[in-house]
């Protein structure tokens, strides 16, 4: 790996040190102070909506000139209504309980020492994400509420928008007597990002949010601890004992409800005992919803018979996160083959079984190694909002620290506080 | 960084795949099966004690020939009594509750979905450590109890001993119908270690245990998630409002009770208001216990007056983890200076204040950023055994996943299990 440019390294170190100083203040703020600041940020964003929308226009114009696809332009776009929505998200965060100070466990030891494990902020959290301005505001809000300073690095396509948003939020923080450096935007090129990823000791945690490529880069280059998020090659397995009405509703919902997100299903596995009944229905409904079907031999034959458009699945299809109206379909002879398939191709995000058979459900939930395992429910439910967390900073697909939807508690660490009256070890 | 030798990479990949297969079985074992296997391992070790001691003799002979220092030879040595002690440790682990299957939290959502977060094993855990045979047995036992397959890489100076220990434990596992690959020893040179550290996707977690150099190497080279352990530049701060009898007992215990371990104190900070009273006593007692004193100007003067041997502290002393009978001593004008000193020089392991002033204690526990913060207690209490965990795989000094003493729950991750009856997202 090439050396990181010294100027970039120094720029990031200076920024991170300023974040650390701010983080010390944030760690000691009361919930009331943080909530007041969140409301002030929300109001400031609404008041500055015209400026923010104008900055966003610059990004959009650059995007259009550069041939940015419509879907990405849509995610980048902010009008006054969307500014109001991100401001509302900050107010929602103000309404959530403060994770800092929660006593996780504790006891009094035989020698009289009182020990307790208490949630405290991580310190400085770096966020690396794509050109989605709502993430800029969400991350700043969740960071503040959890007592962390954040260093934000959004996609360069959203650079003017992010600058406007962060300026407004920093101003609002200062107005509340909170250091503006609680929220910083990382400017500069690729070397600045690499300097952030290697600022071990200055930055406590990096959270990447985006496509597989971005996450892979962060994971590989970072020496700061990382929480991997969001790559989901998600399966729905329809068991021999499935209620086929439920199976139909779940498969279609999991695939088509919002195909561009990580908890959308990508592959459908159907037990051969129900294939003849189930496939014509599900393939027709999927196809009718515009889903391109990549079929194995058996499901291809069923599609053929029913006159449903389909293409032959290649080896690659089983590992593809389409994030689009496409689905791979395979008929399996038994639960074991389904489990093997998921073990080989799954990414540990969300996997679902549809079955009325208690033993099959128990085996599936025990043996599938994923952040979320569903029985008779759409995979789309793996979501911080749906789980009742009130917010989500991402969905962790790693095993360390947090797994599945991450909200405020996942942005904290703990500290043991030990109180005695002179105890020493014998 | 140089490329990793292909043969080493393949050797490690093959081993890790075998571990993964074993881990799938381990994840489904009942507590009873695991406890029976732990007892079988303990008995097998005792029965094989002569073989193990003979293998250890080979390592010791090589160590002596190579000029290994006495302290390291002692940590390496195993006689029949010590073999009995490591076997007893396995029986202790059998007595601990099984973390796997614990329901961490759960709820029923408005739509009727029942969600619960359940502890499950990590999968495959790599341990990289020094020439300490007891760690080989502890790690195998804690791994088995938490349902994880372990790949052990002990210091090459203990190679014959580790081979003997692992052979015996693998045999005992097989005798219980548990895959022997639940416990593997990583053989080979430095490239094998580097291949382990970069076996992302095959290995779920790496835990380094040892000196600062070993930990730094693992943290820098690893792409597998790491839990950093055990570097402790630990301070005892004696406040203006300290009970000086408690302070004396705590400072001496923290430094001299077991100076070679990470929770031993390395620096003593004394508020100037009590320096004149306290320093002559504490310096005399420390010096009498054989502690080399590295003093700042004020504490040096006190030593001088009292006729106590001391040397002038250099800038380096404040950052040195002596792990020996040496201590740096500084007089500070106030609590803020003590907090600044700890912030600058601490490693986030354990920090202690001695005070009867409630406000000082509250500020210290709130503002010190460390795994454990003690009030009126020896720093030596940061320990899994002392905290009542019944076992310890290491003391984490990082913020992600685990902080402070790590036992069985810290070797697990969680899985969300979601049960419904056909729910889809609207």
Interface of B with A in 179-238 (CB under 8 A): 200, 204-205, 219-220, 223, 225-227
User: Radius of gyration over alpha carbons of chain B, in Å?
Assistant: 24
Contact: B418, A373; criterion CB under 8 Å: yes
Q: Which domains does chain B have, with CATH numbers?
A: 6-228+401-419 (3.40.605.10), 234-386 (3.40.309.10)
What CA–CA distance (Å, rounded) separates B80 from B86?
A: 10
Helix (H) or strand (E) segment spanning residue B21: helix B6-28
What CA–CA distance (Å, rounded) separates B381 from A115?
A: 10
Both tokens assigned to A340:
């093997």
SS3 B197: helix
ipTM above 0.85, yes or no: yes
**Closest-CA residue to B149 (of B11, B35, B15):** B15
Q: How far is CA B137 from CA A337, B94, B101, in A?
A: 36, 13, 24
CB B143 within 8 A of CB B183: yes
Which residues of A are less than 8 Å from B113 in CB distance? 377, 381
Interface size A-B, in CB pairs within 8 Å, comes to 202
SS3 A396: strand
**Closest-CA residue to A203 (of A19, A415, A28, A26):** A19
What CA–CA distance (Å, rounded) separates B231 from B24?
A: 33
What's the sign of the alpha-carbon dihedral A334, A336, A339, A345? negative
3-state SS track over B297-313? HHHHHHHHHHCCCCEEC
Q: Least CB-CB distance to A122: which of B399, B420, B423?
A: B399
Chain-centroid distance of CA B176 in Å reads 30
Q: Least CB-CB distance to A115: which of B387, B419, B422?
A: B387
What CA–CA distance (Å, rounded) separates A248 from A252?
A: 6
What CA–CA distance (Å, rounded) separates A340 from A270?
A: 14
**Closest-CA residue to A203 (of A142, A149, A138):** A149
Dihedral angle of Cα B124, B103, A392, A196, to the nearest 10 degrees: -30
What CA–CA distance (Å, rounded) separates A357 from A350?
A: 20
**Closest-CA residue to B328 (of B358, B298, B365):** B298
SS3 A175: helix
Cross-strand bridge partners of residue B375: A419, B353
Which residues of B are less than 8 Å from A386 in CB distance? 109, 425
Tens digit of each residue's pLDDT, chain A (426 residues): 568 899 999 999 999 999 999 999 999 999 999 999 999 999 999 999 999 999 999 999 999 999 999 889 999 999 999 999 999 999 999 999 999 999 999 999 999 999 999 999 999 999 999 999 999 999 999 999 999 999 999 999 999 999 999 999 999 999 999 999 999 999 988 999 999 999 998 999 999 998 888 888 898 888 899 998 878 999 999 999 999 999 999 999 999 999 988 999 999 999 999 999 999 999 999 999 999 999 999 999 999 999 999 999 999 999 999 999 999 999 999 999 999 999 999 999 999 999 999 999 999 999 999 999 999 999 999 999 999 998 889 999 999 999 999 999 999 999 999 999 999 999
* DSSP 8-class letter at B409: G
Cross-strand bridge partners of residue B98: none
Helix (H) or strand (E) segment spanning residue A181: none
What CA–CA distance (Å, rounded) separates B19 from B123?
A: 8
The model's pTM? 0.93
């Amino acid at each position: 790996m090439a050396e990181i440019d010294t100027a970039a390294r120094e720029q990031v170190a200076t920024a991170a040190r300023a974040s650390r100083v701010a983080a010390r203040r944030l760690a000691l703020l009361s919930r009331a102070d943080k909530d007041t600041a969140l409301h002030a940020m929300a109001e400031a964003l609404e008041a500055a909506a015209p400026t923010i929308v104008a900055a966003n226009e610059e990004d959009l114009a650059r995007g259009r000139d550069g041939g940015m696809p419509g879907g990405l332009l849509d995610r980048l776009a902010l009008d006054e209504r969307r500014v109001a929505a991100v401001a509302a998200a900050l107010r929602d965060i103000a309404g959530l309980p403060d994770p800092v100070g929660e006593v996780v466990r504790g006891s009094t030891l035989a020698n009289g020492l009182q020990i307790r494990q208490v949630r405290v902020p991580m310190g400085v959290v770096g966020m690396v994400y794509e050109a989605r301005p709502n993430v800029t505001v969400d991350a700043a809000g969740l960071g503040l509420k959890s007592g962390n300073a954040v260093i934000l690095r959004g996609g360069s396509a959203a650079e003017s928008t992010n600058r406007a948003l962060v300026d407004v939020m920093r101003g609002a923080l200062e107005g509340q007597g909170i250091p503006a450096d609680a929220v910083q935007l990382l400017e500069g090129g690729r070397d600045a990002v690499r300097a952030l990823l290697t600022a071990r000791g200055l930055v406590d945690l990096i959270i990447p949010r985006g496509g597989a490529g971005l996450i892979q880069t962060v994971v590989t280059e970072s020496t700061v601890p990382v929480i991997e998020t969001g790559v989901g090659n998600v399966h729905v397995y329809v068991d021999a004992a499935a209620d086929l009405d439920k199976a139909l509703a779940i498969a279609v919902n999991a695939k088509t409800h919002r195909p561009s997100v990580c908890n959308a299903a990508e592959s459908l596995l159907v037990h051969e005992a129900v294939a003849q009944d189930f496939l014509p229905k599900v393939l027709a409904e999927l196809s009718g919803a515009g889903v391109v079907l990549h079929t194995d031999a058996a499901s291809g034959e069923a599609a053929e018979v029913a006159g449903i458009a389909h293409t032959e699945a290649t080896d690659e299809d089983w590992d593809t996160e389409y994030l689009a109206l496409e689905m791979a379909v395979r008929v399996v002879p038994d639960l074991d083959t389904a489990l093997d398939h998921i073990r080989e191709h799954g990414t540990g995000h969300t996997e679902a079984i549809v079955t009325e058979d208690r033993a099959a459900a128990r085996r599936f939930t025990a043996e599938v190694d994923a952040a979320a395992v569903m029985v008779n429910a759409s995979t789309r439910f793996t979501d911080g909002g749906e789980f009742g967390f009130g917010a989500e900073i991402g969905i962790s697909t790693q095993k360390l620290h947090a797994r599945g939807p991450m909200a405020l508690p996942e942005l904290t660490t703990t500290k043991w506080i030990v109180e005695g009256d002179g105890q020493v070890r014998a």
